Amino acid sequence: MSDKKLEVGFAYTRAITVTDDMTPSHLRHEPIRVLSTPDMIRLIEQTAIEGTQPYLPAGQTTVGTRVDVSHLAATPVGMTLTITVELTAIDRRRLSFRVEVRDELDECGKGTHDRFIIDASQRMPRLEEKVARWKQAKA
């Protein structure tokens, strides 16, 4: 963990090349395959996690709670995406980000993303309790 604190204005950028497995499976027969919207969202979430994790105390992580992103342009396999997340608000444990996705030519996505800081030690008991309730309801 860093000695730095997460503050509004923090930004993190990463670049990634679009691969075949990031394209919609139902369109993989097309001669030019492009990044799927779910994969763009996944990459945005991964970027936010990667950027913020070094600032969190041991035993904490973040989970996504809201995504509002427009997919503006198609990005063919082989092009490089640049994903930027900028922290715009901190409300106790809620982190709000402005997100931008660009390929080598165009703006491909933009919007907002919220994450919530959680304690890993509290997460598993809650999940175990939910699974137990679910199994009981099915019985």
Q: How far apart are CA 99 and CA 114, in angstroms?
A: 10
How far, in Å, are 12, 70, 108 from residue 97 at the CA level? 10, 14, 17
Average pLDDT over residues 84-96: 97
pLDDT given at position 24:
82
Name the DSSP class of 61.
E
Name the DSSP class of 39.
H
Structure tokens at 19: 């691969």
Nearest to 117 by CA among 90, 82, 99, 136: 90
Average pLDDT over residues 82-91: 98
Confidence of residue 3 (pLDDT cuts 50, 70, 90): low
Given a cut of 70, whether residue 2 has pLDDT beyond it is: no
Output b/e per residue, 7-29; b: 16+ Cβ within 10 A: eeebebeeeeebeeebbeeeeee
CATH number at 11-138:
3.10.129.10
pLDDT tens figures, 39-79: 999 999 999 999 999 999 999 999 999 999 999 999 999 99
pLDDT tens figures, 7-28: 999 999 999 999 999 988 777 7
Contact 81, 41 (CB under 8 A): no
Backbone torsions φ then ψ of 50, nearest 5 degrees? -60, -40
Structure tokens at 96: 């709000």
Residue type (1 letter), 99: V
Confidence of residue 120 (pLDDT cuts 50, 70, 90): confident
Contact 108, 75 (CB under 8 A): yes
